[in-house]
Amino acid sequence: MSLSDWFKKDLAAPLPSLFEVLYGVPLLDTIVHEGVAAHDNFGIGTMTRECCDVFEGLQSLTDCCGGHGKTARAIVKAFPQIKCTVFDLQRVIETVPADGIINYVAGDMFDFIPPSQAVMLKLVLHLWSDDDCVKILTQCKNAIPSREESGGS
């Protein structure tokens, strides 16, 4: 038995994640999504202005759990060459009107993340267990093509 297995052997079944709790209570879920949307307005201008080198040469980006796309729209406004995809749950995406600027895709990040050169996870990982974070990050890795596939150096 490994040391990590030994530590875990007496643990009770894990509690549901914060996301799982919020998802089950529509009012709380709505409040959190509105709060995250308000947070999207805070700092995105600074990020696109002061961290512009992060976006240099980037042609595609997936905003995983990007909600209604405020952050993605700010990125496209600052860097029009970047094709942004917002990826979120079906119930979120179906409430977003198509705008012709952002590509909206519904799905489950544990199963698939749309391919792009970069995946943004803003205010996402802290809601999940370490094991779930590894699963999410594995899907991010699968979504990003290797440098050989994308022609990068």
Contact assessment for residue 100 and residue 120, using Cβ atoms and an 8 Å cutoff? no
Determine which one of 33, 39, 68, 126 is catalytic: 126
* Known catalytic residue at 33: no
CA distances from 122 to 25, 39, 72, 86 (A): 22, 10, 11, 12
CA–CA separation, 122 and 63 (whole Å): 8
Alpha-helix residue ranges (DSSP H) falling in the chain: 3-8, 18-23, 26-41, 44-50, 52-55, 70-78, 90-93, 130-143, 147-150
Annotated active-site positions, please? 126
